[in-house]
Structure 1
Amino acid sequence: MASSSSLSAAPPARPHTAPTGIGEQLPQELYLEVRINQGSSTQLARFIATGQQLSASAATLQKLGLRLPEGVEPDQQSVDLAQLPDIEISYDARNQRLALQLPLAGLNRPPTQLRPATPPSVLAASDSSPGLLLNYDLHAQQQRGYRSASSFSELRLFGVGAGIWSTTQNTSLDADRGHWQHRNIRLDSRWQLDLPGPMLTLGIGDTLTGALEWSRAVRIAGVHLSRDFSLQPYRVTTPLASFSGDALLPSTVDLYINGIRQASRNVQPGRFQLDAAPTLNGSGQAQLLVTDINGQQRMLEFALYGTPTLLQTGLSDWSLDLGVLREDYGLRSFVYGDRPMASASLRHGVHQHLTIEAHTELSTDLQLAGMGAVALLGERGGVVSASFSSSRAGIMRGHQHALGYQWSAHGFSVSARTQRSSSDFRDAPAFLANALLPRRTDQFFVGLGNVHSGQFSLSYISQHYPGSLPTRLTGLGWSRNLHGNAWLSVQLQHDLDNRRTDSANLYLSLPLGRLTQLSSSVRHGSDGNALALQAGRSVPADAGGWGWRAQASLGTRRSANAELSHLGDAGQWRIGMDYDPDAGTTGYADANGSIVWFGRGIRALRQVDDAFALVSTNGVAQVPVRLENRLIGSTDAQGQLLVAPLRAWQRNLISIDTLRLPMDLLLDTPQQLVVPASGSGASVVFRLQPSRPLRLQVRGADGKWLGVGSTIAVELAGQIVATTVTGHDGEVYLQDPPADAMLRIPLDDSHDCVIPLPIALQGSDPPGITTLQCQP
């Protein structure tokens, strides 16, 4: 995404003024601090003063960013400043400064580059110890003599050598009228190494091959190597929006996109270029506001278009895969094909408006190659994509082509895509795994809406698989936010080939608070009419707690459901019952969470999809911990808390809620930024120490409160270990005074008052304010 414009304004013509303070007739060499158009500068330049004339070499003028007059050669040694068109010269002999004022046409500076301030692209991972983590998801149910239990688990080893090891499996136990059946299926086993610097991910084991929008992935066992932008999440990969202009005087440039300020920069006189990170997907409006030092403002408006499907110029995204096909996935543990295959995908930004794509697949008796492109039409014409692939599978030769277009703006969007495959076209999923490939796919979507009338949508989708009739569906939808955050939506679906499958849905939700809501829906379909009513309370995602849900359906198919759930520090569980007139009553229960060995001992925590942190508070229990300023829990009896989920390779703010800490605890730092590696744990230590804060009120020998700002020294064994001052009403605050300490208070130039701290105050809980008095 790129936009540019020129913004300029010339000042009123001013008469040339001869420099003042120059009266000598003999040439005089001067080194002056130069200021151009009131801009700040620390440049020193060499000039020759002869009478009322100032001159400099052409090279000096070019270095200052001034345009040479016509007829002046770049190597000329003396150029009279008065030769510069429409210039004003002001010479301050006392301070050896030279101020020049000239129009924009007289400046010849390279544009000032202004880029958005972003965190470093590569962040060092926080300290991590070796660990072993087990994610689990358990489910059990009973229905009319049939019992079943199943579990999904992931075992992950990290911090031992390079990379992480993981394996997943599915276990099931079924009992039908006393006959038990047991199955244990391994799913994926994988070793993965992330290299944030070059943004590379290397994986060995079970994996999915890389794919583009117009190709399909296949599950293999082998080697996967790819570019991974998620390892540098703060790096901007899409083209930057670029805005250029001119400033006659020192100015402030503010960039607004769709009315929201995105950047503000200070610029010096001359041309500037402001590069801003894209903040929208689709068409938008940008305003560039330039305010000079005199308060005068000028604004230009630009049309721009942003899309994540484009890459910055010169940036590439790619993947390489080599292995054998994984067969009967989810049914058997170790079944692989006997034909090796290779796959490669590439996306490369050749221009701010153009990204090219390529994909290839190779195997025994299979060769496939394809090219594609994604292009932005003009500044805001939308995005068009196209691709063409050709395959050879044995004696069959086929091809596939696709074409798409999308355009979106605030309140309106449209997208269309079509893909065609010949009858002999084969890719790796179709040739090696017998996965059906559609001969034809068409998609169309239009969205329109605003705050007052709601959101409208119209969609069409058509798919045609070989050996079956085509499926063509149209949909019409409307939704709107109502008063009090209520939500109303209507959805209609029509099958162009089978009207008996048409359906209509009406849905209404009514919030009763931050977590509780009521909802109802009415549905008409081929199986009849139904009315559903539901009430529920969501489980607080951060601090945890209780949740519940109750639902009843009336009509052709009657049903009922009730569920109770709880989220704690060790995971989440749910119990519930379903009722159906045909199937009867089904009771179920499930639980999910994690068990981790990390640091010292084994602990339970919530399910960890990616990264987590172990927070330690030096053994202090019940310390409230926040994640991104949201309360996430409190430390246990050992002063520890496992915090999940964290965002890998990003800055996660973990802090202590100091407002809830007792007064007798000291904290070295209230917050830390944690950057965990993918799938790993990070150690976060907050050093809390017991403290003895003392609040005193001190009277002088005359019985009056010590004056505000009086100096008080804390003395131990004749040595001053701390000093403080008094507040109003003689109040003094001391933090952890040592045992047997004395307070020394100067009364005048020759006399001090010494007060021993009462023994009752030392080592005890804060007793409130205690009054002490100097003895005469």
Structure 2
Amino acid sequence: MTTGKHAPSHWTSLAVSAITAYSVVCQAASGPFGLTAPQVQTHAIDPTGAASPNDPGMEELFLDVTLNRVDTHTLGHFFLAHGELYAEASTLHDLGLSWPTETQTTGLVPLTDLPGLQAHYDEANQRLSLLAPTQLLAGPPARLGYTPPPPPRIDPASRVPGLLLNYDIYGQDGAGSRSISGWNELRLFGLGPGIWRTSSVVSATYGGSTSDEHHFVRLDTSWELDFPTSMVSIVVGDTTNAALDWTRTTRFGGIRVSRNFELQPYRVTVPLASFAGEATLPSTVDMFINGIRQSQQTVSPGRFQIDSAPVLNGAGQAQVVITDITGQSRVVNFSLYNSSQLLQAGLSDWSFEAGKVRLDYGLRSFSYASDAMGTGTYRYGVSDFLTIESHAEVTRDLTMGGGGIQLRMGPAGGVLNASYAMSRHGENDGRQEAVGYEWQGRLFNFRLSTLRSDEAFSDVASLEGSVLPRRVDQAFAGFNLGRGQLGASYLRQDFPGNIHERYASVSWSQSTSRIGNFSFSLTHDLDGGTGSTVFLYWSLPLGYRRQLWSGVQHQGSGNTVTVGATQSIPGDQDGWGWRVQAGAGDQPTDQAEVSQLTRFGEWRAGVLQWHNNGQSGSTGYLDVSGGLLLMSGSLFPMRRVDDSFALVSTDGIGGVPVMLENRLVGDTNEKGQLLVTPLNAWQNNDITIDPLVLPAEVSVDRVHLAVVPPTASGVLARFPMRATTPVVLALRGPDGQWIPPGSSALLESKGATPLEVVVGYDGKVFLQDPPAGARLVVPLASGQCSITLPDPLPGQGWTDLGELPCR
């Protein structure tokens, strides 16, 4: 360590040069440290052993301390003897210093005992400047960067009860028979906690070779309750259990309690992109991922860790630029890898279910297994590299359980997954093993996996008739070439009864701005069952929502060529769409269709003609989908809503444009209402109105709302409006001249605080809702003048009182 007092010296220039050349590094720094200090004389003092404040010649000092050019805002308690600076260990700790031999230190600590520390004592200003290497800077690394955003909050005033009916009706007439089928979903929300919903299908067939048939089947009925703060959902009724890559989903009726990350959609659950480093001087750290800056943070001297929300799934390249306060920069490059299969360290995901397995789904309304079952799934992020998994199932005469891992192989080495499960069904013990690996990059990605189970292995689904494959092998490789994307895959599945399926496929796609988009696929049955299927497709955009396309298909039943043109319906606005196509070959199909999207729903109608092995036929069809909503005392026909929605209210004022995420979605009706769909549940959906179309006498308190709806529910988005009486007048002073622009005036009325207004050009004064009979007082250089407003004010709405003399 070096210490010094003020005195002119050529060492000052050397110290200044050393500091200017110093740069922050991301590893422990070593070597001498300098500090710019004008007229500092530096000389070394040998330690004299343990010292005490009571030693002869010990001078007590209280100094303003800076550490690595950062003001500590602390008066440090130091001692000076024979040119040597001393301090108590507690003083050094309070300044943020730590040293290897501090546990053996007794009495006062000579600053020379701290290796690498430089101290410069400014006696005239009673200031001490310390430069310490990062090894001496105490404390854990400072974590900066990404902070989980607070979950969106639902405005209690926006929650209103409602009843929604979604429907989709399809009818066709052809080949001597007629049929009609429909799907519907009924939701009840806002009436008590949670949401209740049920769905069903109905169908009817007339004519043909069989007698008329009518069917009604209930699909699902459930009640769901969400707890967004804890990210927990409870479902009672028909639902499915959670599943992992090596387990199967089962549809059942009962109860499910699970973690639900969708309740906090802005929260990042995968590991963050992180960089750990050290800084000796205050610095700015910029993090770039694949060339795009993700964060910029200011760091203090010491160790730090910068976290950034991940912006990739797979391999990427990160670059960190560290710039200290002297302007010196250092660039650090490193590779990183992220995967949606991994959880952040310390984060868990789980689901537990109990009930009875659903049978004959879509065929029978109330068909459940006779025995109850229970399942559980749990995932936990042990670290940012390792996520463990477990799963268990139990029912009568069956228990099954297993565990697995998702392991990131180094900073950019891909993800390895492996699992092992065992089951006991009666007296039979079975087992299942699985292993896989995947790597994704910008130019290349591949995935390999295999799952094997013996004949005795069973799960809950297999007991109810779902066939469990005994072997599944998968391989995929993809290449992002300069001229398109190329992919190849292989699939093998073995089932009980010595049934084998093996398929290999190759695909290629290319998009161009001049000649359109191309895609090609080849799928071959390696066991010779269905042979090969080849498909070639081309499309060319023809402007807004229109495109021309053509396809060629070869399969075992023959070759077919199809050409067509389409215009898609708009996504938000009302509009028309159409489709025409013509085919030739062994199984051609001709089609003409027209469709329309309105605020009341969507419909499409068309004619289809087919040819197959010398036979042909035609079918006409009509499909209508939409919804009916009972909410806020009114019945609304609307579009089909698969997620959430909002009823916008402008307090009875119609014709107001409404925008969702800056996209115009419609105007309010004559009642000042508009249904806006779809909205994302538990997210901030920005809804705005255009106030420029409002009458001048209408005042609006807000033009923007961040609407947060619950799951599959509707909310009220109200823009409060009120009628006002704008009054404008022109004031002439006692001299007959206009009151000067910029003059102040006071609007006085009984029982109210005087309101200050400003006079514009030509004596114009604008008043918003002034009380009838109020007095307007204008201070003048010669005193003041005033006028009294009429009582009552003439008319309603915008009122122009014309020129008024101020006396």
Same fold (TM over 0.5): yes
| Mean CA deviation greater in 363-372 or 104-113 | 104-113
- TM-superposed CA distance for 1:286, in Å, is 0.9
1:669 to 695, 702, 715: 702
SS of the residue 1:637 aligns to: coil
Per-residue CA deviation, residues 125-151 of structure 1 (Å, 9 max, x unaligned), is 644223222221111121143111111
- Structure 2 residue 233 is matched with structure 1 residue 204: no
Q: CA separation in 2, counterparts of 1:170 and 1:531? A: 35
Distance verdict in 2 for CA 1:359–1:206, change over 3 Å: same
Do the aligned residues in 2 keep the contact of 1:18 with 1:52 (CA within 8 Å)?
A: no
| Mean CA deviation greater in 146-155 or 395-404 | 395-404
Per-residue CA deviation, residues 98-128 of structure 1 (Å, 9 max, x unaligned), is 4433444443343211141332147456442
**Aligned-pair Cα RMSD in Å:** 3.3
Per-residue CA deviation, residues 707-735 of structure 1 (Å, 9 max, x unaligned), is 55222344557987433334566665443
Per-residue CA deviation, residues 598-637 of structure 1 (Å, 9 max, x unaligned), is 2323222222223222222222222222222222222222
2:691 to 647, 658, 677: 658
1:748 to 771, 778, 781: 781
Matches for 1:59-458 after TM superposition, within 5 Å: 59-68=90-99, 73-74=104-105, 76-77=107-108, 79-80=110-111, 85-89=116-120, 91=122, 98-121=128-151, 123=153, 126-127=156-157, 128-176=159-207, 179-431=211-463, 433-450=464-481, 452-458=482-488
| Mean CA deviation greater in 464-473 or 252-261 | 464-473
Letter in 2 for 1:140: G
1:617 to 634, 640, 650: 650
- TM-superposed CA distance for 1:47, in Å, is 3.6
Q: Residue 35 of structure 1 corresponds to which residue in structure 2? A: 66
Q: CA separation in 2, counterparts of 1:103 and 1:729? A: 71
Do the aligned residues in 2 keep the contact of 1:383 with 1:405 (CA within 8 Å)?
A: yes
- TM-superposed CA distance for 1:53, in Å, is 6.1
The answer for unaligned runs of 5 or more in structure 1 is none
| Mean CA deviation greater in 189-198 or 688-697 | 688-697
Q: CA separation in 1, counterparts of 2:112 and 2:681? A: 59
- TM-superposed CA distance for 1:536, in Å, is 1.9
Q: CA separation in 1, counterparts of 2:385 and 2:785? A: 80
Distance verdict in 2 for CA 1:357–1:72, change over 3 Å: closer
- Structure 2 residue 23 is matched with structure 1 residue 6: no
Q: CA separation in 2, counterparts of 1:407 and 1:739? A: 76
Q: CA separation in 2, counterparts of 1:482 and 1:512? A: 13
Q: CA separation in 1, counterparts of 2:523 and 2:775? A: 85
Q: Residue 562 of structure 1 corresponds to which residue in structure 2? A: 592
Q: CA separation in 2, counterparts of 1:72 and 1:372? A: 45
1:590 to 606, 620, 623: 623
Matches for 1:601-616 after TM superposition, within 5 Å: 601-616=634-649
Matches for 1:392-541 after TM superposition, within 5 Å: 392-431=424-463, 433-450=464-481, 452-467=482-497, 469-483=499-513, 486-498=516-528, 501-541=531-571
Letter in 1 for 2:65: V
- TM-superposed CA distance for 1:272, in Å, is 0.9
- TM-superposed CA distance for 1:375, in Å, is 0.8
Q: CA separation in 2, counterparts of 1:755 and 1:50? A: 84
SS of the residue 1:62 aligns to: helix
Do the aligned residues in 1 keep the contact of 2:772 with 2:789 (CA within 8 Å)?
A: no
SS of the residue 1:42 aligns to: strand
Do the aligned residues in 2 keep the contact of 1:522 with 1:531 (CA within 8 Å)?
A: yes
Do the aligned residues in 1 keep the contact of 2:117 with 2:130 (CA within 8 Å)?
A: no
Q: CA separation in 2, counterparts of 1:249 and 1:703? A: 70
Q: CA separation in 1, counterparts of 2:461 and 2:187? A: 29
Distance verdict in 2 for CA 1:52–1:605, change over 3 Å: farther
Q: CA separation in 2, counterparts of 1:634 and 1:471? A: 55
Letter in 1 for 2:292: I
The answer for unaligned runs of 5 or more in structure 2 is 1-24, 44-55
Distance verdict in 2 for CA 1:559–1:85, change over 3 Å: closer
| Mean CA deviation greater in 407-416 or 608-617 | 608-617
Q: CA separation in 1, counterparts of 2:734 and 2:92? A: 75
Per-residue CA deviation, residues 184-235 of structure 1 (Å, 9 max, x unaligned), is 1111111222222332222222222222111112222222222222222222
- TM-superposed CA distance for 1:738, in Å, is 4.2
Q: CA separation in 1, counterparts of 2:760 and 2:331? A: 53
Do the aligned residues in 1 keep the contact of 2:537 with 2:550 (CA within 8 Å)?
A: yes
Distance verdict in 2 for CA 1:614–1:775, change over 3 Å: closer
SS of the residue 2:160 aligns to: coil
SS of the residue 2:462 aligns to: helix
SS of the residue 1:342 aligns to: strand
- TM-superposed CA distance for 1:586, in Å, is 1.6
SS of the residue 1:61 aligns to: helix
Distance verdict in 2 for CA 1:754–1:30, change over 3 Å: farther
TM-score with structure 1 length normalisation? 0.90
Per-residue CA deviation, residues 412-456 of structure 1 (Å, 9 max, x unaligned), is 10001111222232222222x222222221111111114x32211
Do the aligned residues in 1 keep the contact of 2:34 with 2:131 (CA within 8 Å)?
A: no
Do the aligned residues in 2 keep the contact of 1:701 with 1:773 (CA within 8 Å)?
A: no
Distance verdict in 2 for CA 1:696–1:97, change over 3 Å: farther
Letter in 1 for 2:26: S
Q: CA separation in 2, counterparts of 1:306 and 1:520? A: 39
Distance verdict in 2 for CA 1:518–1:772, change over 3 Å: farther
Distance verdict in 2 for CA 1:707–1:41, change over 3 Å: farther
Per-residue CA deviation, residues 305-341 of structure 1 (Å, 9 max, x unaligned), is 1011112223222222222222211111112221222
Per-residue CA deviation, residues 33-80 of structure 1 (Å, 9 max, x unaligned), is 433222254345434467976543111112211244867845534545
Do the aligned residues in 2 keep the contact of 1:163 with 1:191 (CA within 8 Å)?
A: yes
Q: CA separation in 2, counterparts of 1:591 and 1:37? A: 72
Q: CA separation in 2, counterparts of 1:132 and 1:601? A: 11
Do the aligned residues in 2 keep the contact of 1:126 with 1:683 (CA within 8 Å)?
A: no
| Mean CA deviation greater in 177-186 or 756-765 | 756-765
Do the aligned residues in 2 keep the contact of 1:56 with 1:81 (CA within 8 Å)?
A: no
Q: How many residues align?
A: 763
Q: CA separation in 1, counterparts of 2:123 and 2:547? A: 74
Do the aligned residues in 2 keep the contact of 1:485 with 1:511 (CA within 8 Å)?
A: no
Do the aligned residues in 2 keep the contact of 1:126 with 1:674 (CA within 8 Å)?
A: no
Do the aligned residues in 2 keep the contact of 1:593 with 1:607 (CA within 8 Å)?
A: yes
- TM-superposed CA distance for 1:30, in Å, is 5.5
- TM-superposed CA distance for 1:243, in Å, is 0.9
Letter in 2 for 1:595: L
SS of the residue 1:60 aligns to: helix
Do the aligned residues in 2 keep the contact of 1:286 with 1:302 (CA within 8 Å)?
A: yes
- TM-superposed CA distance for 1:170, in Å, is 0.7
Distance verdict in 2 for CA 1:549–1:694, change over 3 Å: farther
Distance verdict in 2 for CA 1:40–1:686, change over 3 Å: farther
SS of the residue 1:117 aligns to: coil
Letter in 2 for 1:64: L
Q: CA separation in 1, counterparts of 2:647 and 2:791? A: 42
